[in-house]
Structure 1
């Protein structure tokens, strides 16, 4: 049980670290690059703003990418942290969660390794070369950003959180409020897919606040799960978390 206690502490700590790190890094990005609103701006606006940001903006994107990617580790550890290491549902969810973090990492890191190669020549180019660079920007943005990061990355992360929430409600390994709030946060975050799909299907219904509200709610839920894994439960439950604390 002491081993389980240690896994819970590591998993909870990593959830909190990733949530806190990403919040700080993304807040800096929002203040310096108008993220995420700028993602829907025309190519010339994005490329000009990115070029003006210089190396500091590239390093900010680097920090955003890796602080978010960290969440893939506790996602994959959740079945062990809940004392259900052989549960096929949680093990599959862990693999899905890790895949979501990897896809999002790819989406974020294109701002470090791909976009600079377009923004520099665009800023130095003329009316003859800029249209080709803008077309290249749009293509990589739709593939690496909308498809890999915003669609697949987010949807798989939602599948993970919804699965953990359902398991929590059905088994009692986590407080019921974690289960219900996780389902609510997952549903809100899923609504952001309207904005993503609208980039490919003009006229697709979009609820503008979904991105901010959904991602914030999902991030707060991650932090809450981290706290619950670290702090001893005081309920009458005999689930693995309480049992581990008692044995420790």
Structure 2
């Protein structure tokens, strides 16, 4: 919110880099906190097979690897704003016209590779693959209420529409649903919270 995220992801270098420079150390620390807070998601992903008592489920095992990989890729995408963006912003703000043009090209290259490709495209697809698999397991195993499985599938489907916005950065004219990413991410987060609550209730029930 302090950096106009996620809309600023699609802004050009001459908009983004001055904003990064103006944000200073507080913005860098904000991104650092966002990155490592998101990285904590790897813990419940890795522990989910044990929590569901399905360590031997091959589908869930593969999905767990995919989910953990998605967190790693997202972490790389977030940490670009800590280790890459500030240095480019400094060079851009202190350089002449030729330097700014070179820095803008460097910004675009790393932004498309580390952000659009790794963090957004691959990171989100792997996360969606994990959530779809978990949702199907919920529906088939009846370990949790069926609505949890259906909510996971719905959140995954809506979140998948954000790929249009990502692909549009490489393919001109690719169809984009502007609210897909925001709505999908909120639904996905809501599903994660619901999943956590259900797991806690299941653990308490088993304890008694």
Write the deviation string for residues 91-119 of structure 1: whole angstroms up to 9, x where unpaired. 11111100000000001001101111100
**How many residue pairs are counted as aligned between the two chains?**
208
Aligned counterpart, 1:14: none
2:180 to 210, 222, 231: 210
CA distance in 2, matches of 1:42, 1:196: 15
CA distance in 2, matches of 1:37, 1:215: 14
When structure 1 is superposed on structure 2, of 74-83 and 132-141 the one drifting more is 74-83
2:123 to 147, 150, 153: 153
Q: Does 1:126 align with 2:96?
A: yes
CA distance in 2, matches of 1:72, 1:197: 26
Q: CA deviation at 1:61?
A: 0.4
Write the deviation string for residues 159-217 of structure 1: whole angstroms up to 9, x where unpaired. 00000000000011121110000000000000000000000101000000101100000
Gaps of 5+ in 1: 1-29, 233-240
Q: CA deviation at 1:245?
A: 2.3
| Higher RCO (C-alpha under 8 Å, 6+ residues apart) | 1
Write the deviation string for residues 17-46 of structure 1: whole angstroms up to 9, x where unpaired. xxxxxxxxxxxxx1x110000010111100
CA distance in 2, matches of 1:103, 1:217: 21
CA distance in 1, matches of 2:81, 2:38: 14
CA distance in 2, matches of 1:107, 1:175: 34
Q: Does 1:230 align with 2:200?
A: yes
Q: CA deviation at 1:126?
A: 1.5
Q: Does 1:245 align with 2:205?
A: yes
Write the deviation string for residues 117-146 of structure 1: whole angstroms up to 9, x where unpaired. 100111111112100000000000000000
Q: CA deviation at 1:246?
A: 3.6
CA distance in 2, matches of 1:214, 1:59: 26
Q: Does 1:89 align with 2:59?
A: yes
Aligned counterpart, 1:4: none
- Please give the TM-score of this superposition, normalised by the length of structure 2: 0.97
CA distance in 2, matches of 1:78, 1:201: 37
1:199 to 169, 185, 191: 169
CA distance in 1, matches of 2:182, 2:109: 25
CA distance in 1, matches of 2:143, 2:59: 14
Aligned in 2, Cα 1:226/1:194: closer, same or farther, shift over 3 Å? Answer: same
CA distance in 2, matches of 1:166, 1:74: 18
Structure 1: 4+ residue segments shifted above 6 A: none
CA distance in 2, matches of 1:107, 1:246: 39
2:18 to 36, 44, 48: 48
Gaps of 5+ in 2: none
